[in-house]
Amino acid sequence: MTEERRRQEINEAVRAGEKALVSLRAAQSKLASARNWGIWDMLGGGLITSMIKHSRIEDASSCLESARTDLKIFQRELKDISDFSELGIDVGGFLSFADLFLDGIIADWMVQRKIDEAIKQVDSGIMRVESMISRLKARRGV
């Protein structure tokens, strides 16, 4: 691979990584909102609060689906660069909310726990993508 081609592949990977970061940060924001509404819901917020929480969870799920797609593209771009290993992020396991419409304090607590776990995974994903982008940018100049 020529130096110019390598630089081009790195630039493509950086762009893909930056797009993935945008999606991950959007998911992070929506998850934080869902967590806050979930707290209000557990404190007795009522039907409207519960509906808003579920709406925020749906928004977060949509953002996470975009993030999964963007992370897969980022992984594909990284494979084009011979000395970069695959990005080790579990893109399939961010969120699974099968029991969202159950109500009651135990179900609400379980949803809060899942939201918190998803936030940790997204935060970890953001840190890993940022690190990979930094490494790519450093190599671009080599």
User: pLDDT (tens digit, 9 = 90+) per residue, 5-44?
Assistant: 888 988 999 999 999 999 999 989 998 998 888 888 878 8
The model scores a pTM over 0.75: no
Q: At what angle do helices 3-42 and 105-140 cross, to 10 degrees?
A: 160
Per-residue model confidence as pLDDT tens digits over 42-78: 788 888 888 898 888 888 888 888 888 898 898 888 8
Per-residue model confidence as pLDDT tens digits over 111-131: 788 888 888 888 988 998 999
- Cα dihedral 38, 42, 43, 47, rounded to 10, equals 80
What are the C-alpha distances in Å from 108 to residues 9, 104, 136? 46, 6, 42
Mean of pLDDT over the chain: 79
For 137, which DSSP code? H
Percentages of the chain per state (helix, strand, coil), in multiples of 5:
75, 0, 25
